[in-house]
Structure 1
Amino acid sequence: MSTPPLTYGRYLQIEALLKLQQPLSDGPEHDETLFIIIHQVYELWFKQLLHELDALNAALDAARTMAALATLKRMLTILKTLVAQVDVLETMTPLSFNAFRARLDASSGFQSAQFRLLEFRLGHKRPGMLTHYGEDGAAGAQLDAALRAPALYDHLLGYLHAQGHAVPPSLLSRDFCQPYAGSSAMQDLLVSLYRHDDPAAQVCERLVDLDEGLQEWRYRHVKMVERTIGSKPGTGGSSGVEYLRATLFQPLFPDLWAIRARL
């Protein structure tokens, strides 16, 4: 018996995909479908960003500058798409969201294990966050591994070291569980690098773009939540806007921002 030819629907598992949107409100409320789809799409983009981050780290470890730049360009484009999705979500009014908000119960975007994993791998490491995933063994294990592993900036330091730059040895062997706080010696090195090693400087600048892009998404997300629920507590018991505001303006790569005034 011959195997039927592969179709678009079977390849992308469209039938299963379109069954994943299951509103819980009575009716259901019109905007709940939008809310579900937007957040499911976010999770798919987070998955892709993690996939690209694997490729970026591998390119940096192998000192493949052009491959690293190409991967960073894709990641930056994805971040712009994440920001644009906020525009769609903001078409939902506070009244329409509140019509089904109570159905969310204890669920919250705060619980997104993939976004937390992305944060850890980009360098925004907070060991205390592991306590929120105690009941999810797989997610907890992934986050624990990411906490202990080198973050993106550590891969950059290794890349620069392989290019012959005198990266301080203490930075190459630092405790990866801790967020990177910056180094005056590394900043001195970067100022010289920007003036004499254009390819490496381009990689550094794309990391600044990445940092700025993530901060832009955080800001748009905060304002979207604020205009939708105001000062109300977030779902799942989070503090809502208050918590989200605390995540703003925390650079992932402090050295790359610190040198701006010296270039």
Structure 2
Amino acid sequence: MSYGGYLRLPDLLAQQRPQSEAPDELLFITIHQVYELWFKLLLHELEVARAAMCDGELWQARHVFKRVHAVERVLVEQVGVLETMTPQDFLEFRAHLAPASGFQSVQFRELEFLSGVKDARYLDRLRDADDTERARLRRRLEEPTLWDAYVTALSRRGLPVSDDDEIMAALLTVARDRRSHDDLWQLAEDLLTHDETTAQWRMRHVQMVERQIGTKSGTGGSTGAPYLRGRVRMHYFPLLWELRARL
């Protein structure tokens, strides 16, 4: 077994196929392929964290979230590499992308669904998704979210969680009795960091889009930056944010 064979480098390095002669198209392709690899890893790690929370293994979930946060910080910083491309550089090959768009990233939608933002309408909007991708999204719609797993962890501790009011009361108990529930508090902080760091990536992404194309429509037909900016303040775990006002 060689290094290149183990990593399947010939196959991997053959996947960057520019559609134009523009020098920066290779940069654009590479960055977005790397994003998809990170998304794949995040989905794997978040599934592990979800299972650990459901099983009461909170230490394992916290360990996994440290890795998740590190990867998400890389996603934020990676935008800076893409911003080394000027708008003129992008315009040299942008027409070749249509109608492809980051909006069509199935793995990113899976991350949103797994994190708690489920929207079945995306199955209709992703017209270019194949049957396997649609099946993955349908599975994500049906399976428990990270929030469901955390609520399960609260329940295992004997805290009532039948509705949002009870869950908020449980969160307040956890926050006010760190001596008894510090592991649950720290895990809630891990969830909040996941939420916050993803929001930071959305903001950096929309700023990059505005820097590249201003208010032009996206290649996939979306409104571009205005659509992205409208999603910046979206929260995966709204009760954890509301908790701050209740303390």
TM-score of the alignment, normalized to the shorter chain, above 0.5: yes
Q: CA deviation at 1:134?
A: 4.5
C-alpha distance in 1, partners of 2:182/2:36?
35
Indicate yes or no: 2:139 matched with 1:145. yes
SS at match of 1:82: helix
Are positions 1:104 and 2:102 aligned together?
no
Question: What amino acid does structure 2 have at the position aligned with 1:72?
Answer: F
Partner of residue 64, structure 2: 71
Partner of residue 112, structure 2: 119
Contact 2:101 2:220 in 1 (8 A): yes
Greater alpha carbon shift after TM alignment, 130-139 vs 54-63: 130-139
Contact 1:134 1:140 in 2 (8 A): no
Post-superposition shift, 1:52? 0.3
Do residues 220 (structure 1) and 204 (structure 2) align? yes
User: Which structure 2 residue ranges, 5 or more long, are not aligned?
Assistant: none
1:47 corresponds to which of 36, 40, 60: 40
1:254 positional shift: 0.7
> Which letter does structure 2 place at the counterpart of 1:152?
L
Partner of 2:88: 95
Shift of 1:38: 0.1
Aligned partner of 2:151 in structure 1 is 157
SS at match of 2:187: helix
TM-score by length of 1: 0.90
Residues 133 and 139 of structure 1 are in contact (CA less than 8 Å); yes or no, is this contact kept in structure 2? no
- 1:57 pairs with 2:41: no
RMSD: 1.0
Q: Partners in 1 of 2:220 and 2:5 — Cα distance?
A: 36
**1:181-196 → structure 2 map (5 Å cutoff):** 183-196=164-177
- Structure 1 residue runs of 4 or more that deviate by more than 4 Å after TM superposition: none
Query: Which digits, 9 at most, give the CA deviation of each residue in 1:228-250, with x for residues without a partner?
Result: 00000001111101110111111
| 2-structure distance, mates of 1:133, 1:141 | 12
2:206·2:225 contact (CA, 8 Å) conserved in 1? yes
Unaligned runs of 5+ in 1: 1-5, 172-182
Q: Matched residues, percent identical?
A: 46
Which one-letter code corresponds to 1:212 in the other structure?
E
Amino acid corresponding to residue 18 of structure 2 in structure 1? P
Contact 2:151/2:167, CA 8 A, preserved across alignment: no
Instruction: Give the alignment's TM-score, normalised by structure 2.
Output: 0.96
The residue matched to 1:234 in structure 2 has which SS? coil
Alignment partner, residue 186 of structure 2: 202
The AA in structure 1 aligned to 2:195 is D
Deviation per residue, 1:67-124 (Å, 9 max, x gap): 0100111101100000010010011000000010001121000000010111111111
Letter aligned with residue 149 of structure 1: E
